[in-house]
A and B are shown apart, each in its own frame.
Chain A
Amino acid sequence: MEALLFYLCTSIILVAAIFTISSANIERSSTAFASMMLALAGIYLLLNEELLASIQILLYAAILPASFLATPASTSNGKAHPKTSSSKLLLIPILTLLLLAAIKTQPKQVAVSYRSEMVYEDAVAEIQIMLLVLLAAILGTLRLKDHHDSS
């Protein structure tokens, strides 16, 4: 079963990655990117890394594709993009991820919390530095945007 899920996730990742770099339409490209990241979170689940899988879904499958979509829309100078419906691309990775989450995480809740505690206790300073880096990037981004909006 694990091997089957691994090959399913791998095939989704490779197809979505090829689609991401080959598609000229940015909406389809972003959706394929989100699909790839969801399937990659599935691989993390197979490696028993539930914490990183959740971070992966939050950052790479939600925030970044939305940012990719927002960027050309705000800077296209009125150029119309063709209307596309690419949300169906997300269906297969989401179903795979749900299946994986149901199979992998249920009997290991104690182990997951133990692993998270271990990671946090081992590297409190590093985690705080990383969060500061992320905060600095977000604040810098907002500052840069304000600066260019006002000028």
Chain B
Amino acid sequence: MATEHEQEFGAVSRVRGKVFEAVSFGSSVLGIVALAVLLVFVVVDAFGLAAADTGWILTYVAALVVPMLALWCYRLDDQWLVRRAGAALLVGAPAAFLLETALAAVGVSIPTLNWELLYLFAVVVPVTGTVLVTGRDGPVGGAANGLFGRILGGAVFAAGLVVVFEILDPQLWFLVYSLAVLPAVGCVAYARQNPTSILGRLRIPVGVLGLFAAVAIHRVFLITVPYWVFHVWALAVPVAVATAWLDDEPETDAGWMTTAGVTLLVLVVGSLAIGTQGIAASYGLLLLIGLVPAGRYAFDTAGTSPERIGLLAPLVLGIGIVIGTIVANALGIAGPDPWLDSGFLTNPPSGTASEAGFYPAIVGSVLVIAVVAVLSFAFGVGTAIFLEEYTADEGLVGSLTRLIQINIANLAAVPSVVYGLLGLALFANMLGFGLGTVVTAGLTLSLLILPITIISAQEALRAVPDDLRRGSDAMGATRWQTTRNVVVPEALPGIFTGTILALGRAIGETAPLLLIGAVTARTAAPSGVFDQVSAMPLQLFNWYGQPEPFPRGVVPAGVVTLLLVLLVMNGTAILLRNRYERSDG
């Protein structure tokens, strides 16, 4: 700095600093705002919101959003928030209308957005989001959020089960359950009662043997169990037992039996009841299994006084939808014309836009991600454990560690398309796993996200306090025993969070899949790991160049589906991290 020559104090102006602060703030939000605007347009297109008549959105805001927000705000201490939210909802609609009129008077019109959509996305969505997030601090909102979270999670889980049983033969699960899972669990349970027994240490051999036996029997004999036996024996009973076992409340055998019995009864009777309504009873059972956590939560919360009101949230939602529909029909207001509907999620792709669906792509993505999850978790955590727990500062191991560490940093920056070339040459052509099969895709994407998985697992392992390791060492534990009993359990939530975030990266990858020869459009879901696979991003790549209405209808629907899947995955990861951090501090 200039210290030698005299410097004169000029006039200090605030303007320059203020302008700079404003400009840098603007830059910080510029990218976010751009993305938000693009997301609004893609959502409007995916749900065909622009086709709704004027008044449709206002009707549903009045019938659905306002009662819901009122429920969340009930007994909430934050009066400031409640007043602001109410005022924004009231003033927002006329303000949006005036804005559009004013813009039209100047001759500007925003394409596809009318004032109602402007109101929806600029006022209703942010206000609802804020109230839902802030409202969890209140007793009622907290209970409502808890219930909705469990319903949502359960629905996702049930959908996953449906997909799994679409691909896997349910008979195989019947055999695996009867021959492997049940005996292994029996060993563990017996060892709990008699700690000296050797049976407890046999749980893994018993399970593995059972697994092999089940697969062998499934290959050789064609055993067909009646579906109701399969469902009750291999799905409903274990879920009922697990529910009772995970429940802290019943201390007595009688209470335990009651919980299990009631759950079993609800599952069986409920699925039979759903079976009469046109949906297959098997899907009804899976759906009910998904709803078990929500049911337990409602059952537990129903006793506590202010929270109890929060359990009305699904009812308010349902009544709101019914009233909204009745009012809209009575006034003759047409609703939106969504591209993203149940047909889109269950149909195969088609050249006709109105029949085009995403189903094989969704199943393909799920299968590939399952393979990637297993592989990248095993190898990522293995590498991280070596680098954090088994390493040394010097010698051969020390230099190996440093080399691997540099290597991982560089691998993380290799363009994904290059991994595609690796998968193409190595897995598809050289090792003969086939072009575009589930295995090839899974292996390629695993290598792609391995550096990210390793780095996040390392961070999780590093966060485990050293005292715990020393304590375990002092007990005479070996390095593996310390790692297994102390370090890994402590780091597991962090490892899971990092792995899920990395899987989110894998699910959106397109270029490597294109290069390993995955087909962009498949009309059937893959039936095994050596089958050719499509995936959500690949299906989008197949559609993007087709004529209208693909770019403004089918493609946005696919984009929104992909983003929703990502949202669920990342939301799970963030929930896991928050819960873990809270219990830590």
On whether the two chains bind one another, the answer is no
- Chain A residues packing against B (C-beta within 8 Å): none
Q: Which residues of B contact A (CB under 8 A)?
A: none
